[in-house]
Chains A and B, each alone.
Chain A
Amino acid sequence: MSAGGSDGTADRPADLAAEGECPEQAGSSLPAVEVPRKRKGDVEERSGTHGQHSVDFQKDDDRSRSEGEDQQVKMKCFREPHRQIEKRRRDKMNTLIDELAAMIPACQPMARKLDKLTVLRKAVQHLKALKAGTGSAFTDTTFKPSILSHDDLKHLLLRAVDGFLLVVSCDRAKILFISESVSKILNLSRLELTGQSLFDFIHPKDINKVKEQLSSSEYPRQCLIDAATGVQVQVDAPARPPLLSTGARRSFFCRLKHSRVAGKQDKHFLPCTSKKKDTSRYCTLHCTGYMRSCPSSQLDSEGDSEMESSDLSCLVTVCRLLTPMSHQPPKELTIRPSEFVTRWAIDGKFTFVEQQATTVIGYLPQEVLGTSCYEYFHQDDLLHLADKHRQVLRSKEKIETRCYKFKTKYGSYVSLQSQWFSFTNPWTKEVEFIVSSNQVISGPGHTKDEEAGNSKALQEDTKQIPIIPSLSSGLGTMIYAGSIGTQIANELMDSYSRMNSSPSSRACSPFGPTQEKCPQVSPQTSTSASSREEASGSSSQSQCDSRTAAGTSSATSESLAAVSRININPIQGEPSQLDLDLVPGLSSFSSDEAAMAVIMSLLETDVNMGQSEDFEDLHWPF
């Protein structure tokens, strides 16, 4: 608990912050960084009357009243804001009282609104009744009083964390302690596990990994990362650092056996692999924790007498079941043979082909990878698909094609319909690739005769395609087809370089002057943009930078709404609307202070990790 003095006073500023203390900002939607201001006389009042609690409250009210009365004395420019502040305080208090009344059963059935004093009195009665009802948290006076009893806290923790506490000895991975919640995760009881070797329950392929993590001083080299530079630091000597327990932290993933209980929680386990010989199922857990020495006298009942007084090196971890993310496709995908997903580079060349594609198009993925999709499109469809291709590169929306024919390995055509979506890099905002989600419409149809007829039609069509000025039929068809894609891609690249080189690019940034939404983020200035260009060597880098400079520092909430709405249909494998257009440039990171803030927050975090003194007073729960 922090010193008592800080609680009350800090509460005040927080309340003020909630109300919005800056008169100038009264009109704005949300004060950015709420810098609370302590009310004059606060600190002195509190420290002066330490024991007289009721007098404190009294003095509060008196002071505020007298201040109200002194309004006439104050300058006019203070009057309005002050009244506003007072009003807000009163409103806040009234809101709180109303909320309190809503939570107290005794206040519920009243027809008319109760006055403040009555609500407070009923609250006192209610709390007394609650305290009488539970016994656990308050009967034991040696215990630090707390809002929740330990059992309740434990219960809530376990609901939040699908995990358990695990302590294993480092030498033989003997499970020294495991919390009861393990039964919820692995369907194995605590009793079954305690005293066993952890290796009996780990997936065979993860055993070496865990062994590594358990080794401490035997392991001569520790690979740590220096947060400031990202460089791996090899520490050769067994580390006994003075302040921070550098190297004592462990973080790893491993698969543990779990026994199947019919109909129980299976959907939470991911990813599970069932090995061919071993019919056990495994679930993946993230284990984080620290190496500690724990007194062995309490533990090893069967231990050697020489070892009784020595400390055992052990690993204390929290093992947490991995969250299946909402946009994660479940491992057991229902594969629909008539649908598959492919990825192309912007020029239409296949860079990724799902295995299901083979059942539709006949080719194995490696047979089409690197080739242009235009080589498989029927000539009749070239115009329409080229048009769609151009469209998708410039649109943030999914583009749906009409039904078209795709040439299979066997020469026949299959009718497909696809949704295309161009993926834009969130940072550079350039299109990186196109995702194509394809469905079969009907079986393979066209015969070779029809193909011959179609090539004639193509000759007429080509006059309408301005991109290829001349056409050579027959032999040149293949080359022609592939180059459509390249041409379209080049158009896009040209448009990018035009955008970059234009000095007016900043002016026509799509983000506009919406900075006021997040005013604490430092706005992009042209000077830092140019210095950025100087700092980075290559021209393409500076082009990217100037484009991000064009975006202002506004971060609209819609983009994050898009992020949270991301879900992927696991069956069709198509990404849903991913509105990245509203992603702003990251000009917040281009300012020095913000970069320093990033570093500082990382260092802060690390300071809190592995502080050895934290564990000294911990009682071992066994």
Chain B
Amino acid sequence: MTANKEKRRVISRDAARRRRQVESEVFVDLSRLLPFQQSVQDHLDKPSVIRLTLSYIRMHTLLKGKTGIKVEASHAVKCGQVMESGQEWRGCDRGRDDEEKKTDNVEASEETNMFLRILEGFLMVLSTEGDMIYLSDNVSKYMGLTQTELMGHNIFEYTHPCDHEEIRNNLRLTAEEVWCGAKRDFIMRIKGALTHRGRSSNLKSATWKVLHCQGRAKVCVAPSSVSCLLLTCQPLPLSHTLLSTHTFTSQHSMDMRFTYCDQRMTLLLGYSTEELLGRSIYDLCHILDTNCLTKNHLNLCFKSQSVSGQYRMLVRGGGYVWVESHSAVIPSVRPSKSRPGAHQPLCILCVTYVLSGVEEPSLQLSLDQAVHRYLR
């Protein structure tokens, strides 16, 4: 009896093995169809193959129907016609041979490459559930993980848990946004597997990287197509930038009170450094921009870097200017090798760009603008 049982067990095991073999072969076939180099295809495990296949199909669905029109429109411009965006120009594409198309492709790729390099960011397409359907291949430069490692995974696996709610809110699309362009602009922390020298390491030694994400929601009404978020994700640099005279820097304690500001602040806004020390930035700005500043402040507190968006700073003597601040939390004392474990007090460094001239110069709205101040 047991011999029979044993025999049946062996038969079923062999059958299972054969089934698995067939399955593996299909996986190989599938991986060969994926648009990656063979060396990459060979090293994909099964879940990755499916993941990437899904991304591939989803991206095609996303672009289905759009691609034809866009390509034709861009050809139209090249043909010397200025077209309203969205109009179709049917005639131009015919009679263009493969050579021309190839040149166009080359140009498009060079331009896109340059665009992405100069933008200093990567493109991310997010589904409404948060799946990273597509990432441009330069993502490895910023996250240390490659396109094939990341694509198809869910963004919530890679971002700071405390940012998840904000990401979710950004993924949500309200009905009115569908018709109004639905722009997105937020900051999130994502895992970065880069060493401080810029080389890739692995997820084990991942640190949090702050990314500024901007873009819009793209809604597709075609059946079986996906709505998604198109975002560029950029780290926020601080140094190595030439600052113009319409820019000033300031330092603040963590509660956003001034601890330092440079002379250009005085030139642009009229406040002397002494006047500002210890004053809160909230006092210096238009009341309607309080929320903008608060959001900026919260971003700094949680994520250590922020871009403020446009707000109004009041000018001494009257009026205001539109500005935008790029800020970061930095140690207020330079970390030294001799005391690496020493406590680092932190402060906020802001680089503020003045966007406009002084508007409504005769308008005095706040106490600080008054020429003769009798309170302080």
A contact residues, total (Cβ < 8 Å): 213
Q: Restricting to A582-622, which residues have a CB under 8 Å from any CB of B? A: 583, 586, 589-590, 592, 595-611, 614-615, 618-621
Q: How far is the CA of A494 from the CA of B55 in the complex (A)?
A: 60
Tell whether, in the assembled complex, residue B240 and residue A246 are in contact, meaning their CB atoms are under 8 Å apart: yes
Q: Which A residue sits closest to B140, measured CB to CB?
A: A2
Tell whether, in the assembled complex, residue A370 and residue B301 are in contact, meaning their CB atoms are under 8 Å apart: no
Q: Which A residue sits closest to B288, measured CB to CB?
A: A573
Q: Restricting to B289-309, which residues have a CB under 8 Å from any CB of A? A: 290-292, 294-295, 297-299, 301-302, 304-305, 309
B105 within 8 Å of A (CB atoms): yes
Q: How far is the CA of A560 from the CA of B234 in the complex (A)?
A: 21
Nearest CB in chain A: distance from B275 CB, A: 15
Nearest CB in chain B: distance from A118 CB, A: 10
Chain A residues lying within 8 Å of B36, measured Cβ to Cβ, are 1, 145
What 1/0 flags go to A233-269 for Cβ under 8 Å of B?
0000000000011111111110100000100000110
A568 within 8 Å of B (CB atoms): yes
Nearest CB in chain B: distance from A566 CB, A: 5
Q: Which A residue sits closest to B224, measured CB to CB?
A: A105
Nearest CB in chain A: distance from B249 CB, A: 6
Tell whether, in the assembled complex, residue B240 and residue A165 are in contact, meaning their CB atoms are under 8 Å apart: no
Tell whether, in the assembled complex, residue B243 and residue A560 are in contact, meaning their CB atoms are under 8 Å apart: no
Chain B residues lying within 8 Å of A96, measured Cβ to Cβ, are 47, 50-51, 54
Q: Restricting to B133-164, which residues have a CB under 8 Å from any CB of A? A: 134, 136-137, 140-142, 145-151, 153-154, 157, 161-164
Nearest CB in chain A: distance from B116 CB, A: 7
Q: How far is the CA of A129 from the CA of B112 in the complex (A)?
A: 27
Tell whether, in the assembled complex, residue A121 and residue B364 are in contact, meaning their CB atoms are under 8 Å apart: no
Q: Restricting to B1-33, which residues have a CB under 8 Å from any CB of A? A: 17, 19-31, 33
What 1/0 flags go to B270-298 for Cβ under 8 Å of A?
00000000001011001110111011011
Q: Which B residue sits closest to A588, measured CB to CB?
A: B302
B39 within 8 Å of A (CB atoms): yes
Tell whether, in the assembled complex, residue B136 and residue A563 are in contact, meaning their CB atoms are under 8 Å apart: no
Q: Which B residue sits closest to A353, measured CB to CB?
A: B365
Q: How far is the CA of A545 from the CA of B211 in the complex (A)?
A: 28
Tell whether, in the assembled complex, residue B57 and residue A11 are in contact, meaning their CB atoms are under 8 Å apart: no
Tell whether, in the assembled complex, residue A12 and residue B74 are in contact, meaning their CB atoms are under 8 Å apart: no
Chain B residues lying within 8 Å of A227, measured Cβ to Cβ, are 238-239, 328, 330
A506 within 8 Å of B (CB atoms): no
Chain A residues lying within 8 Å of B104, measured Cβ to Cβ, are 151
Tell whether, in the assembled complex, residue A148 and residue B119 are in contact, meaning their CB atoms are under 8 Å apart: no
What 1/0 flags go to B334-361 for Cβ under 8 Å of A?
1100001111111101010101110110
Q: Which B residue sits closest to A5, measured CB to CB?
A: B43
Q: How far is the CA of A132 from the CA of B361 in the complex (A)?
A: 64
Nearest CB in chain B: distance from A124 CB, A: 5
Tell whether, in the assembled complex, residue A349 and residue B375 are in contact, meaning their CB atoms are under 8 Å apart: yes
Tell whether, in the assembled complex, residue A157 and residue B224 are in contact, meaning their CB atoms are under 8 Å apart: no
Check A606/B161 contact, CB under 8 A, given A57-B24, A225-B243, A270-B310: no
Q: How far is the CA of A7 from the CA of B117 in the complex (A)?
A: 23
Tell whether, in the assembled complex, residue A566 and residue B63 are in contact, meaning their CB atoms are under 8 Å apart: no
Check A609/B240 contact, CB under 8 A, given A230-B330, A531-B343, A557-B165: yes
Q: How far is the CA of A126 from the CA of B58 in the complex (A)?
A: 12
Tell whether, in the assembled complex, residue B157 and residue A17 are in contact, meaning their CB atoms are under 8 Å apart: yes
Tell whether, in the assembled complex, residue B33 and residue A128 are in contact, meaning their CB atoms are under 8 Å apart: yes
Tell whether, in the assembled complex, residue B230 and residue A247 are in contact, meaning their CB atoms are under 8 Å apart: no
Q: How far is the CA of A159 from the CA of B218 in the complex (A)?
A: 8
Tell whether, in the assembled complex, residue B146 and residue A7 are in contact, meaning their CB atoms are under 8 Å apart: yes
Contact of A100 among B24, B54, B247, B254 (CB under 8 A): B54
Tell whether, in the assembled complex, residue B23 and residue A343 are in contact, meaning their CB atoms are under 8 Å apart: no
Q: Which B residue sits closest to A246, measured CB to CB?
A: B240
Question: Which of A46-54, A303-311, A394-402, A445-453 faces chain B?
Answer: A46-54
A103 within 8 Å of B (CB atoms): yes
Chain B residues lying within 8 Å of A92, measured Cβ to Cβ, are 47
Chain A residues lying within 8 Å of B355, measured Cβ to Cβ, are 253, 255, 271, 284
Contact of B202 among A10, A268, A570, A590 (CB under 8 A): A10
Question: Which of A315-323, A467-475, A479-487 faces chain B?
Answer: A315-323
Tell whether, in the assembled complex, residue A58 and residue B20 are in contact, meaning their CB atoms are under 8 Å apart: yes
Tell whether, in the assembled complex, residue A180 and residue B235 are in contact, meaning their CB atoms are under 8 Å apart: no
Q: How far is the CA of A31 from the CA of B295 in the complex (A)?
A: 27
Contact of B35 among A147, A317, A428 (CB under 8 A): A147
A25 within 8 Å of B (CB atoms): no
Chain B residues lying within 8 Å of A30, measured Cβ to Cβ, are 161
Chain A residues lying within 8 Å of B147, measured Cβ to Cβ, are 147
A454 within 8 Å of B (CB atoms): no
Tell whether, in the assembled complex, residue B42 and residue A602 are in contact, meaning their CB atoms are under 8 Å apart: no
Tell whether, in the assembled complex, residue A11 and residue B165 are in contact, meaning their CB atoms are under 8 Å apart: no
Check A599/B330 contact, CB under 8 A, given A232-B262, A328-B309, A353-B365: yes
Q: How far is the CA of A246 from the CA of B237 in the complex (A)?
A: 12
What 1/0 flags go to B182-222 for Cβ under 8 Å of A?
01011000011011111010111011111000111010000
Range of interface residues on B (Cβ < 8 Å): 35 or more
Q: Which B residue sits closest to A532, measured CB to CB?
A: B343
A350 within 8 Å of B (CB atoms): yes
Chain A residues lying within 8 Å of B330, measured Cβ to Cβ, are 227-230, 598-599, 602
Q: Which B residue sits closest to A591, measured CB to CB?
A: B343
Nearest CB in chain A: distance from B284 CB, A: 10
Contact of B149 among A11, A165, A580, A596 (CB under 8 A): A11
Tell whether, in the assembled complex, residue B365 and residue A604 are in contact, meaning their CB atoms are under 8 Å apart: no
Check A620/B110 contact, CB under 8 A, given A105-B224, A191-B80: yes
Contact of B28 among A53, A179, A290, A560 (CB under 8 A): A53
Chain A residues lying within 8 Å of B357, measured Cβ to Cβ, are 205, 273
Chain B residues lying within 8 Å of A145, measured Cβ to Cβ, are 35-37
Q: Restricting to B212-267, which residues have a CB under 8 Å from any CB of A? A: 214-216, 218, 224, 230-232, 235-247, 249, 251, 253-256, 262
Check A425/B20 contact, CB under 8 A, given A120-B27, A157-B112, A161-B232: no
Chain A residues lying within 8 Å of B342, measured Cβ to Cβ, are 592
A337 within 8 Å of B (CB atoms): no
Contact of B20 among A61, A190, A366, A619 (CB under 8 A): A61
Q: How far is the CA of A245 from the CA of B51 in the complex (A)?
A: 39
Tell whether, in the assembled complex, residue A2 and residue B231 are in contact, meaning their CB atoms are under 8 Å apart: no
Tell whether, in the assembled complex, residue A7 and residue B24 are in contact, meaning their CB atoms are under 8 Å apart: no
B89 within 8 Å of A (CB atoms): no
Tell whether, in the assembled complex, residue A230 and residue B251 are in contact, meaning their CB atoms are under 8 Å apart: yes
Tell whether, in the assembled complex, residue A606 and residue B237 are in contact, meaning their CB atoms are under 8 Å apart: yes
Tell whether, in the assembled complex, residue A225 and residue B43 are in contact, meaning their CB atoms are under 8 Å apart: no
What 1/0 flags go to A73-100 for Cβ under 8 Å of B?
0000000000000000000110011011
Chain A residues lying within 8 Å of B344, measured Cβ to Cβ, are 592, 595-596, 599
Tell whether, in the assembled complex, residue B146 and residue A228 are in contact, meaning their CB atoms are under 8 Å apart: no
Check A608/B198 contact, CB under 8 A, given A1-B146, A120-B26, A289-B118: yes
B178 within 8 Å of A (CB atoms): no
Q: How far is the CA of A151 from the CA of B150 in the complex (A)?
A: 22
Tell whether, in the assembled complex, residue A607 and residue B198 are in contact, meaning their CB atoms are under 8 Å apart: yes
Chain B residues lying within 8 Å of A609, measured Cβ to Cβ, are 120, 237, 240
Contact of A621 among B58, B107, B186, B292 (CB under 8 A): B107
Tell whether, in the assembled complex, residue B241 and residue A251 are in contact, meaning their CB atoms are under 8 Å apart: yes
Contact of A427 among B185, B192, B254 (CB under 8 A): B254
Chain B residues lying within 8 Å of A343, measured Cβ to Cβ, are 287, 366
Tell whether, in the assembled complex, residue A599 and residue B27 are in contact, meaning their CB atoms are under 8 Å apart: no
Tell whether, in the assembled complex, residue A608 and residue B206 are in contact, meaning their CB atoms are under 8 Å apart: no
Contact of B162 among A250, A544, A557 (CB under 8 A): A557
Q: Restricting to A92-115, which residues have a CB under 8 Å from any CB of B? A: 92-93, 96-97, 99-100, 103-105, 108
A433 within 8 Å of B (CB atoms): yes
Listed residue (A148, A209, A350, A433) with the most chain B CB atoms within 10 angstroms of its CB: A148
**Sample of 14 A–B contacts (CB below 8 Å):** A58-B24, A117-B22, A128-B33, A140-B105, A148-B134, A232-B262, A247-B240, A248-B240, A343-B366, A352-B367, A355-B365, A607-B198, A609-B240, A621-B110
| 3 closest cross-chain pairs (CB), A and B | A57-B24, A8-B43, A4-B39
Known pairs A127-B57, A156-B125; list 11 more (Cβ under 8 Å).
Answer: A14-B149, A152-B67, A153-B123, A155-B67, A205-B357, A352-B365, A432-B282, A432-B283, A560-B302, A618-B114, A619-B106
